[in-house]
Amino acid sequence: MAAIDTRNDQRTAARAIDLQQLRLAVIACDYGSFRRAAEALSIKHTAFSRAIGQLEYLLGTSLFERSSGGIKPTLVGRAVLRIARLILEQVDMLVATGRSGGRGDTGHIVIGFYTSMSTGNLRATIGEFKKLLPQLELVTVERSRSRLMTALRNGTVDVVVSPGRQQSKDTRTLLLWSERILISLPQNHCLASREIIYWTDLRNEKILLSEYDPGREFEDLLISKLVLLDDRPKVERHDVSRGIIKSLTSMGMGLSLVMESDIGASFAGLVYRELQDGAGPSRVDFYAHWRDDNENPALKRFLSLLAERYPSPPPAFVE
């Protein structure tokens, strides 16, 4: 009976939480202060604090540690805020999709990705597709792997282009191209004088990885190339974007792994070198993922273009 009551309490609390409370909590976290966040939104500080307090009451936990210097998320708060951001992004995507569909446009497609578009095949493909269908409304969405696959399943994204194949009974996949894995390092680093760097050269280095995609593929590569634990570099994970990882690398805080499509965006103090083992460069395959029951004509045109541009076996990276 107690377990049933607990589930009922959880459902009641879930129904009572509104999106505004989640937005305020996320904004408060970004500003590091209830007062500054309230001022930015032009609402009363007391009303802002009361809304956060109500959210904490419904969740049954404190989201922030309060002090005279401001606020910072608790351990539970960080987890809750991460989920809140996901919820809000999905709602925003839902609204954008609904509005675009209601305008009676000639066509609409949402392409999701979690790789760079600074250069390479994805950039070239989207550019060509837009030239072929200039009246088409084309929306690009950059999110993490899990968020994009969720959006694909619920229909708010038409197709996801990503490194690595995501197995799912609800989706189909198409092998596209492959990209080399490169190492980025400060221009004054001792390895920067080499044109080619080997995986074994990383033994005594520190590798900076983003908690977001494609960090998982990079870490798997490190393990596969350097099987012995003593041969592996120290891996340091950061809850930041790939761009921030580049900034940290340029500051000399470590080295980082990137794909070819990342090198189109130059970064002061940073250089890229080819990373090899005894068999040559290391590569990662890219795939397109889509729902088989998606009848969007624009999606079918895009898939036709992909099949035409990237016949099997996949071509190498294009600058």
Model confidence pLDDT, tens digit, residues 114-128:
877 666 888 899 999
Q: How far is CA 125 from CA 130, 224, 290, 306, in A?
A: 9, 31, 17, 8
Model confidence pLDDT, tens digit, residues 141-168:
888 778 888 889 888 899 999 888 877 7
Residues 209 and 289: their CA atoms lie apart, in Å, by 25
So what's the pLDDT on residue 146?
80
Beta strands in the chain (DSSP E): 64-67, 70-73, 108-113, 137-142, 159-163, 171-186, 196-198, 206-210, 234-238, 255-259, 270-277, 280-281, 283-291
Do the beta carbons of residue 125 and residue 181 sit within 8 Å? Answer: no
Residues 45 and 62: their CA atoms lie apart, in Å, by 18
Whether residue 297 has a cis bond before it, omega within 30° of 0: no
Model confidence pLDDT, tens digit, residues 48-67:
999 999 999 999 999 999 99
- Local structure of 67: helix, strand or coil: strand
- Local structure of 282: helix, strand or coil: coil
So what's the pLDDT on residue 186?
92
Residues 298 and 137: their CA atoms lie apart, in Å, by 9
Q: Which domains are delineated in the chain?
A: 2-84 (1.10.10.10), 105-177+284-309 (3.40.190.10), 180-283 (3.40.190.10)
What is the residue-averaged pLDDT of the chain? 83
Least confident window among 111-115, 124-128, 224-228: 224-228
Least confident window among 16-20, 99-103, 106-110, 198-202: 99-103
Q: How far is CA 7 from CA 18, 19, 75, 127, 317, in A?
A: 19, 21, 24, 50, 52
- Tell me which residue of 159, 120, 123 sits closest to 141, measured CA to CA: 159
Instruction: Using a pLDDT cut of 90, give the percent of the chain over it.
Output: 29
Residues 132 and 308: their CA atoms lie apart, in Å, by 14
Amino acid making up residue 243? G
Model confidence pLDDT, tens digit, residues 270-291:
889 988 888 888 888 889 999 9
Distance, C-alpha 24 to centroid of its chain: 23
pLDDT, mean of residues 64-73: 91
Q: Which two tokens stand for residue 57?
A: 């009451």
Residues 190 and 273: their CA atoms lie apart, in Å, by 12
Helix (H) or strand (E) holding 309: helix 297-309
Residues 165 and 143: their CA atoms lie apart, in Å, by 16
- In this predicted structure, the answer to whether residue 105 has a pLDDT above a threshold of 60 is no
So what's the pLDDT on residue 282?
83
Q: Which two tokens stand for residue 291?
A: 């729902």
